[in-house]
Structure formats: structure tokens, C-alpha cells
Amino acid sequence: MLDLADVRMFVYRRFAERGCPPSPEEVAAAFGTGPEEALEALRALHEAHLLVLDGERRRIVMAHPWSAVPLGFVVASSGVKWWGGCAWDSFAIPALVGEPCLVATHCPGCGRALALDVCPDTPPALPLAAHFLVPIPRMWDDVVFACANQSLFCSEEHVGRWLRETRYPRGVLLDMRTLWLLATRWYAGRLTREYRRRTPDEARALFRSLGLSGPFWGEEHDPAPPPAAPGGRPAAPPVTDDIGISPLYIGQGVQRGKWQWLG
């Protein structure tokens, strides 16, 4: 079997350098193997929460902090443009690539276009608000839905407006400095071969160092399940369907409780 660390590095560096993931065929060619062996390696990385495959387990959808499908954020450096998986992910990309980037999105509360410069070494100073809807321990129940609902808003007032319209429960709010610190520290080392996922205790320690504590951040067992839109179904994130993705069930291969909740 292929070395999973090597395959992970190949996928992540392809995202970083070109803005899109490799196909299984490209993975196979890079390592001199067949497509099925390449798919086996990608599926093992999916099960380990080191990337996300589509419902058929044949295409790479996400390798956090990058996304292969639009989830509401565009991140652009001087030479490459990416889809960021969410506010958290989008703020991490500049530090990973070592270059200031423009992060663009829309406020869900009013539809206004938001664009801000995010630097590798300085948090942005704009008075925007980030809202995370799904508790951290439940993110991998449907990782794309969770990411699609980690958003930037013009203000806390606009968060409240959006919550009233959607009838979602309030999640947590972060200012831009806290969001930037969370993103840059969480993803530090992601582009190195030595990277390993944090244990739950390590993750909670990082969250606490930023003043983030309580059930939402995994400090109690059995947090509330992800919210549902009116009618009982999660709201579909705004992704395209040109590669056969089912937005509600991209995370269907992740069995609840089977894996640690960290990504």
C-alpha cells in the first residue's frame, strides 16, 4: 500500500500550488501505481479525516483548509485562487502559503459582499463577526454542512437576523482576531510531512488558550446534534453538482462516534 503521508502531502501541495486537487489517476501516475491502489490510499485518508471524498468515494472534495467545490469563500494570492472551506479555513490559507491573500464572501444576513486582506502574520482589524453553527464534536457528522455554516457577517446584528430567518439555534461568535489566531494555530504544520492530527485533549487545550471553552468546543460529552432547517432536513450548502456531489451526504462515510471528531 502507498505511504499515506506521502499521498497526503501530494494532495495538499497540489491544492496549494494549483488551487485544485489531483484526480485518483494523477495520484496513481505520481506514485507509479494503479488507480485502484491510489483510490485505496485516498479512501484511507478520508476515513482518517485527513481529506473528504464525494459520496461515491472517488473524487476529492476537501482537504482542509482547501475545498474543491464552492462553499461561499474565495481566497486569492498573487498567483493562485482557491475555494476556502469556510471562514476558519479561509483565514488559515494565507499562513500556510506564506503570502497575504484576499478573502471574499457574502454576509448571510444581508447579502453584502465582504472582502478583506488576510496576512500570514497579522490578524485583520475589520469589525466583522464570524458565526459557527455546528458544535465542534459534531462537525464530521456532515463536514460539508458544518463548513458551509462557518460564515462571516457584517455584524452581530446580522447574525441575529440570519438566525431568525433560518430558525437555527445560535452557535458561537468570534471576532476577527480570535478567528485568525484559531485558523493559523490550528493549521500550523499542515503542509509538512510530520503533521499529525491533534488528540481531543490537545485540541481543547488550544481552544482554551484562545478563550474558547464549553460544550460547543468539546468540553462535555454528547453535544447537541447539528441543527436542522425547518422541515427537519439540514439546509443544503451552496455546492455545484457537476461532479455528482450530494451536498447533504458528502460525509456519509463517517459513522457517528466511530472516529474522533477532529479534522
Distance of CA 136 to the CA centre of its chain: 12
Q: Please report the pLDDT score of residue 30 as a whole number.
A: 95
- Comparison of pLDDT for 259 and 130, the residue scoring more: 130
The set of cell numbers assigned to 191 is 503542509
Whether the per-residue pLDDT at 223 is higher than 60: the answer is: no
Q: What is the pLDDT of residues 171-211, one digit of tens each?
A: 999 999 999 999 999 999 999 988 988 899 999 999 999 99
Per-residue H/E/C for 53-87: ECCCCCCEEEECCEECCCCCEEEECCCCEEEECCH
Q: Cα(59)–Cα(188) distance, rounded to whole angstroms? A: 26
pLDDT by residue (tens digit) across 133-165?
999 999 888 888 999 999 999 999 999 999 999
CA distance 5 to 104: 31
Which pTM value belongs to this model?
0.81
Q: What does pLDDT average to over the chain? A: 84
Cβ(116)–Cβ(90) under 8 Å? no
| 13-47 pLDDT per residue, tens | 999 999 999 999 999 999 999 989 999 999 999 99
